[in-house]
Structure 1
Amino acid sequence: MKIDLNKQSSEIDERNSTTIEDAYPDRSTYRPGEKASVIVRVRKRGGEKFTGALMLRVLNLAYEIGKVEYPLSITGEGVREYRIPIDLPEEDFRGYGLDIELIDDSCTVIDKASTALDVLSEWPLAPRYGFLSDFSPEEPDSEERIRHLSKYHINVVQFYDWMYRHYLFLPPEDRFIDGMGRILSLNTVKRKIKLCHRYNMAALAYGAVYGAEPEFFNEHPELALYDARGVAESIQDLFYIMDIRKDSPWYRLIIGEYVKAVNMLSFDGIHMDQYGFPSEGFVGGSKGLRVLLDEHFGPMIDDSASALKAVKPEAKVIFNCVKNWPMVKVAQSNQAAIYIEVWPPYTEYSDLRKLILQAKEAGHGRKQVILAAYMSPLGDAKPEGPSGNEKLIRAEAATRFTTVSIFASGGFHLLLGERDGALCDAYYPKYAKLRPQFAGIMRRYYDFFVRYEQWLVNFNMKDVSELVLATEGLLHIGYGQLKYDSAGRAGEIWTLIHKGPDFITVNLINLTGHRSGYWNFPHPAPPLLLNIPLELGFQAEKVYLASPDFNFGQTQELRPELNQDSCSGTSSGKTCFNIPRLEYWDLIIIPIDRDDYNLREAKNQANWI
């Protein structure tokens, strides 16, 4: 996408200029062997004819793997859209940067833009989860909403509260009133499913595992769960908790509704929801059979997945572990990813990382982890003009830090949906609307996440942060001038280190301006840090730096400092360099050769390489 902050605006004559207005791939993701195209929107101002070209480079890290020159000849003012086909390697689970230059007929670069894309055989490899919750009969802009999600590279979408009832998904007619009193349209749901498929997004139907409206409970009270007092378990008498044991009629009913959604509406799976409570109940009344719900979620997940695959082999399910419960018990179930809805006591940045690490361990490192971390500050702050206000700016900073914390910890963030919407409440229709400037920033972050996904969410990497930082001589930042640690504390540079099969990454997250480590809390924008010394306890042949905050997210090689005396202690076997700037998040990538002598020496100090 376009990053206006990097444009040299002083060099552009706004009255008679040609600029790149936007750039993005035509789909959210691509399957191996699938043809890809990049859409570039060019704005022409003034009456003079423009002759030049768009130069598009495809990169994996710093390595160019493709290049396209697309000639331009533009007369007249206005915006023109160009679709540029590109060839991609067929290698699975790979992200690529797309760097675009607009050059004139004298070969002068007059504007730049950047975006990203990736190649995935299936969405669970990198589940960039989004949401849809608007299904009104008169919705005029469904395609634009889905296109916006595609620009964020969202490749799997939860259709939240799309159904007629929680116990009866399909309505009697197209236009209907749902259980919360909203007027919805089944045709709108169908249209959005079809549009998701056009942009290579999987569409998952929301379906609570045990929620039923009052009319169903009144007709079938024997299927409900009750507390020890004999009171039916419910959410404010809106949705009643049903018995989910395998031999319960409800069990067969709800799985049958899941199958109908996939078979009749072409959904690609089910988002299986639960409410986080109760943990137990009694069937039919206080004297009935005691049911521990966490013993029954796993079998229900497996049976639902099997039933869906019988009608659509590629269909998948996701299950909601509210407050991380019961994550460990269901991690090995037949679900496509581990999904956790984050609530207290998980209130700090470090908690987000712990949730991801625990889930990866419980999933044996073979399932990606999605955190539904709703940003309530966005709901509390309302835009006031294009530049926002202080409350909104702090809410936006908190959102960036939360997303960065999840991405840098190796997870995925359910946040974005509809048209530049962001979740700020557990009831998704209450989503906040991002102002255009901040939507552009978030696109930049998602571009970055896709571009470097093999160094951020690689199944074969592990977190070695504590091990490295506790070992003398392996990594130093700032030579005593800056505090850094892996704990995610306020006032420090949060330093997260991962080891992959052929790389090491160092994530630097700038919490130096924070007064607290709470993620769901307004925070000021961070102070800009410049020229940060960083020392590695081994000699690295190549060190790369990238950031979504500058340089279009592009990779730049860091050159070792010529004055090795700047290293603390002896310079033997060390690599020293300066990080030119740190705003929110910097990613340092160090390719490694396992046979390299210097790395073998480092391994003697700590078994981390």
Structure 2
Amino acid sequence: MFMVMKIHEHGKIAIAILAIILLANCINCYASYASDIHVNRVYTDKARYNPGDTVTISVDLSNTGIGDWSGTLNLLITHLETVVYSSSKTVSINSGQDITTTFSWVTPIIDHQGYLIKVYTNAGDYQTGAVDVSSDWTKYPRYGYIQDFGDITQNTIDTQINTLTQDFYINSFQFYDWMWRHEVPISRSDGINIDASWEDLFGRRIVWNTVQSYISAIHSKNAKAMAYMMSYAAREGYDNYGVSPTWGVFWDTNHASQLNVDFGNGKYLWLFAPTNANWQNYIGNAYVECINAGGFDGIQMDQMGQRDNVYDYFGNRYDLQNSFSSLINAIKTRLVNNNPSRSYVDFNIVDGAVNGWAVNDVSSNANTDFNYSEIWWKANNYNDIRNYIEQVRSKSGKKALVLAAYMNYNENTGDRYEAENAVYYGVDVESNHPGYSGTGFLQNFAHEGDYVQFDINVSESRYYALVFQYGNRSDHATRSIYVDGSKIGVVGFHPQGTWDAFVHDAYINVFLTAGNHTIRVAYDRGDTGAINLDCMTLGEFNEASVRLANAAFAASGATHIELGAGLDDVTMLPHEYYPNTSKVMSESLKTSMKEHYKFITAYENLLFDSNINYSDQGNQYISIANQPISGDGSPGTIWHITRMTVDYDILHLINLKSENDARWRNWTNTPVKQSNLAVKYYMSPEADVTGVYVASPDLDHGITHALNYTTGTDSVGFYVSFTVPSLEYWDMIYIKRTIPVPKDNRYEAEDAIKTNVSTNNNHAGYTGSGFVDGFAEQGDEVTFQVNISTAGNHTLTFRYANDTGYTSTRQIYVDGVHVGTLYMPDLANWDTWSTASVNTYLTPGIHTVCIYYDNTCAHAINLDNLTVY
């Protein structure tokens, strides 16, 4: 095999320069720190900045040594691999002292840029932070939530919002179930003045001052407050509030059975036709009140999911799934006319999946500011969610996408204590009902005085969720919960209709100090009902699954609503009902989430920009020596996802080698860290590579590292070769290069990326140095990287030879999306060349064009070149 290889001299220079910078700034100079001066935390005063704003960067320092210290504290700010600002100052810290010092930085005038902050001492200790400079927050929404509006102190509110904006870079907040009624959000008992408090759908007390205090705190961080509202629903008794049943949606032609959601507590949501002009006007007025009276910045519109074969009030078949864009667009216009600066709208595409229910209407036709989608059971696997993200973003002109995806849903994860192994009184062990864990369960837990007591040990001082797995056939039951002898509350156990079912929806939260504790579940006076108690779990998110899912979402181009104000100032979302806190984060997971959110903020331009183009999922772009790889997120592999901008090829590596299944939400094993991955990455032969870099939320607090690389050509094509030092969960490699437009916009097939084909020059009339032959079997493929300068419809013209006696066919994919079938009629002989074309719309930038032989294709061809017109 003929091979050409060289080390780029300008690449050497770039690496040397960066190495000098890194050494000067002590990024990796010390295996252990040479002093007891510690940079503990770096954070900024806002969640987001406009170009030209001044950023106040705070740095928490400590001196754990026995002597006082005075020295230099350094600041370095980078955009991707480029240093954009540096500064330093002298700091003095007494022994045992903690201090906070600040730097100021005026942001560049370039809009929509992410930056990484590094603050370090000359002794080698460092920490990082991130800055988002974006005039429009919807470009990169990092969405959190607020779900408790009871009597909460201003200090608690400020602490929660500070934590979420400073440590996790949350720049927008969904206010979940803050309203009185879904059609009348704000309660005014006298018809004029806003009530001090009210009860929501589930009887929770909502304090208006708390809602207002949260909004004020969020605005002080230059973040946004979005009012959660149902888009097409009204509560029971809606006719008393001016809503007409004639606006409704029904299961029958005689408007006898209106669509509804029964919550089992005497409360309902009744559904209305989104296209009905009267409903649009009515709910539009309600949304305007949220903005004007509440001070919200926009509306988070929700819906209840797939409902087909329905009718309007007059018995006409109603196409519900294609009705939402009409309502969204009417609301958007209404809010803009009311107040353009507070007119943000997003809409929940429930149960999002490729070509799923309501997906095409909302993503293609709705005037949302960003897309939002709740993921249930139609996009279960890693590749399902990747494909869905790509489809929604592509159909919407690359609008941002936020996923509501509930981790470890329906899983009882966390340290488990079996009831049959606990101390108990008045109950007995049995195993005559299926579904229990361990060796059995405790039955006859039905009389006053009965109890079960667990002895537990916890390693961290924090909030815990005590989750009880139980069986209950018929009656609602309650039990009193004691921690170390003190009663902390009462837990309800809900009837399941059979003893042959064990569920784990009974829980209570408590703060525990590290060490030993006793947890007693007691039938006290006033408690009711009979239960079988199976076990108690300290409900906790599985860190590995959360980190892998977030890597998959971000690498695919979406963010994840998962963090909210709550326990320990920040809580994670396990359930579609946001106040549910049946799982909590370990300190390790909190630390990992801080690194993740810092990373996606600093590198937002390589993750979420609208000018990022996708590639297909084939393995033709990459090889990793002695490693299993996949482009479709297969368990047991390193999953590669490839992206392109005008300036970079971006390669994401996600470590699924320890995955037990391909489902992103499920508990999984901690990945085994991989080291020294020898990578060959194939790309356009026209590419002029000037640097290869790796950054990861798992490596050195997100700092970019330059990699040594070589370039060469083999039988597959032109490649860049480099070694990735480590892969824990997720690495992002970005290759800086330019790809010029070739003469006459012609790309030679013999220089492209080739899969299962060869090159030759044994037939006259070809262009370039030869052509591709052996293009004759299923799985054969040729992949081009093309540079498009202007948006519009383009013609992809392939020059080929065919002497098979038949018309040959191939499938054409652009950026991984099928754009057409190429038909190549039979020619006189193999020395005769002709062209065949397909048309497609292309945006400016770098795209991949694949000509592929799949199971629908037939007959051999020689391929000479691709010309783009």
- TM-score, normalisation: structure 1: 0.89
- 3-state SS of 2:784 partner: coil
Contact 1:100–1:114 at 8 Å: present in 2 too? yes
Alpha carbons of 1:535 and 1:190: their partners in 2 closer, same or farther (altered >3 Å)?
same
C-alpha separation in 1, matches of 2:693 and 2:585: 32
Alpha carbons of 1:483 and 1:165: their partners in 2 closer, same or farther (altered >3 Å)?
same
1:216-365 counterparts in 2 under 5 A?
216=238, 221-228=245-252, 230-237=256-263, 238-247=267-276, 249-279=278-308, 281-284=310-313, 288-314=315-341, 315-324=343-352, 325-331=357-363, 332-365=365-398
Shift of 1:595: 2.8
* Unpaired stretches in structure 1, ≥5 consecutive residues: 1-5
- 3-state SS of 1:541 partner: strand
What do the CA deviations read for 1:386-409 (whole angstroms, capped 9, x no partner)? 299999787111111111000001
C-alpha separation in 2, matches of 1:182 and 1:337: 30
State the partner residue of 1:411.
558
- 3-state SS of 1:130 partner: strand
Contact 2:179–2:200 at 8 Å: present in 1 too? yes
Alpha carbons of 1:47 and 1:493: their partners in 2 closer, same or farther (altered >3 Å)?
closer
C-alpha separation in 1, matches of 2:148 and 2:587: 20
Alpha carbons of 1:573 and 1:496: their partners in 2 closer, same or farther (altered >3 Å)?
closer
1:529 corresponds to which of 674, 684, 687: 674
Shift of 1:82: 1.9
State the partner residue of 1:202.
224
What do the CA deviations read for 1:481-502 (whole angstroms, capped 9, x no partner)? 2111211110111100011111
What do the CA deviations read for 1:483-538 (whole angstroms, capped 9, x no partner)? 11211110111100011111100000000111210111000110111111111335
1:36-435 counterparts in 2 under 5 A?
36-45=55-64, 48-75=67-94, 77-103=96-122, 108-109=123-124, 111-139=125-153, 140-150=155-165, 151-172=167-188, 173-216=195-238, 221-228=245-252, 230-237=256-263, 238-247=267-276, 249-279=278-308, 281-284=310-313, 288-314=315-341, 315-324=343-352, 325-331=357-363, 332-365=365-398, 367-377=399-409, 380-382=412-414, 384-386=458-460, 395-418=542-565, 419-431=569-581, 432-435=583-586
* Unpaired stretches in structure 2, ≥5 consecutive residues: 1-27, 189-194, 416-457, 466-536, 754-782, 787-869
C-alpha separation in 2, matches of 1:252 and 1:168: 13
What do the CA deviations read for 1:23-80 (whole angstroms, capped 9, x no partner)? 1122111111111111111123356322113211000122111012122122353422
Percentage of pairs with the same residue: 26
Shift of 1:160: 0.8
C-alpha separation in 2, matches of 1:504 and 1:148: 34
* Residue-pair matches, total: 583
Shift of 1:243: 1.9
- The reply to whether residue 477 of structure 1 matches residue 624 of structure 2 is yes
- 3-state SS of 1:192 partner: helix
Alpha carbons of 1:75 and 1:126: their partners in 2 closer, same or farther (altered >3 Å)?
same
Shift of 1:12: 6.5
Shift of 1:174: 1.4
Shift of 1:275: 0.8
C-alpha separation in 2, matches of 1:459 and 1:492: 29
C-alpha separation in 2, matches of 1:218 and 1:376: 41
- 3-state SS of 1:271 partner: strand
Amino acid at match of 2:339: K
C-alpha separation in 2, matches of 1:248 and 1:311: 18
- 3-state SS of 2:689 partner: coil
Contact 1:43–1:77 at 8 Å: present in 2 too? yes
Contact 2:540–2:585 at 8 Å: present in 1 too? no
Contact 2:372–2:401 at 8 Å: present in 1 too? yes
Shift of 1:385: 3.0
- 3-state SS of 2:610 partner: coil
State the partner residue of 1:544.
693
C-alpha separation in 2, matches of 1:281 and 1:498: 42
State the partner residue of 2:649.
504
Moved more, 346-355 or 221-230: 221-230
Shift of 1:296: 2.4
Moved more, 288-297 or 198-207: 288-297
Alpha carbons of 1:463 and 1:57: their partners in 2 closer, same or farther (altered >3 Å)?
same
- TM-score, normalisation: structure 2: 0.63
Shift of 1:377: 5.0
Alpha carbons of 1:572 and 1:182: their partners in 2 closer, same or farther (altered >3 Å)?
closer
C-alpha separation in 1, matches of 2:716 and 2:239: 73
- The reply to whether residue 27 of structure 1 matches residue 51 of structure 2 is no
C-alpha separation in 2, matches of 1:514 and 1:245: 42
Contact 1:158–1:206 at 8 Å: present in 2 too? yes
What do the CA deviations read for 1:317-353 (whole angstroms, capped 9, x no partner)? 0011101231211223110112111011211111110
What do the CA deviations read for 1:360-382 (whole angstroms, capped 9, x no partner)? 221133x1122111113597335
Shift of 1:425: 0.5
Contact 1:232–1:240 at 8 Å: present in 2 too? no
- 3-state SS of 1:95 partner: strand
C-alpha separation in 1, matches of 2:622 and 2:183: 56
Moved more, 222-231 or 450-459: 222-231
Contact 1:407–1:449 at 8 Å: present in 2 too? yes
1:555 corresponds to which of 704, 710, 724: 704
Amino acid at match of 2:149: F
C-alpha separation in 2, matches of 1:138 and 1:447: 28
- 3-state SS of 1:255 partner: helix
C-alpha separation in 2, matches of 1:244 and 1:385: 53
Amino acid at match of 1:112: Y
Larger Rg: 2
Contact 1:27–1:199 at 8 Å: present in 2 too? yes
- 3-state SS of 1:179 partner: coil
Contact 1:217–1:240 at 8 Å: present in 2 too? no
What do the CA deviations read for 1:570-605 (whole angstroms, capped 9, x no partner)? 7995432211111100111011112399x9779744
2:661 corresponds to which of 516, 524, 543: 516
What do the CA deviations read for 1:445-468 (whole angstroms, capped 9, x no partner)? 11111111111112111111436x
- 3-state SS of 2:617 partner: helix
What do the CA deviations read for 1:400-437 (whole angstroms, capped 9, x no partner)? 11110000011111111113211110111114432332
C-alpha separation in 1, matches of 2:540 and 2:208: 38
C-alpha separation in 1, matches of 2:146 and 2:162: 12
Contact 1:176–1:185 at 8 Å: present in 2 too? yes
Shift of 1:288: 3.5
Greater per-residue strand proportion: 2
C-alpha separation in 2, matches of 1:71 and 1:280: 71
Contact 1:378–1:396 at 8 Å: present in 2 too? no
Contact 1:498–1:506 at 8 Å: present in 2 too? yes
Moved more, 378-387 or 311-320: 378-387
Contact 2:414–2:541 at 8 Å: present in 1 too? no
Shift of 1:241: 2.7
Moved more, 220-229 or 414-423: 220-229
C-alpha separation in 1, matches of 2:164 and 2:31: 29
Moved more, 201-210 or 225-234: 225-234
Identify which of structures 1 and 2 has the higher relative contact order when contacts are C-alpha pairs closer than 8 Å and 6+ apart: 1
Alpha carbons of 1:50 and 1:305: their partners in 2 closer, same or farther (altered >3 Å)?
same
State the partner residue of 1:440.
591
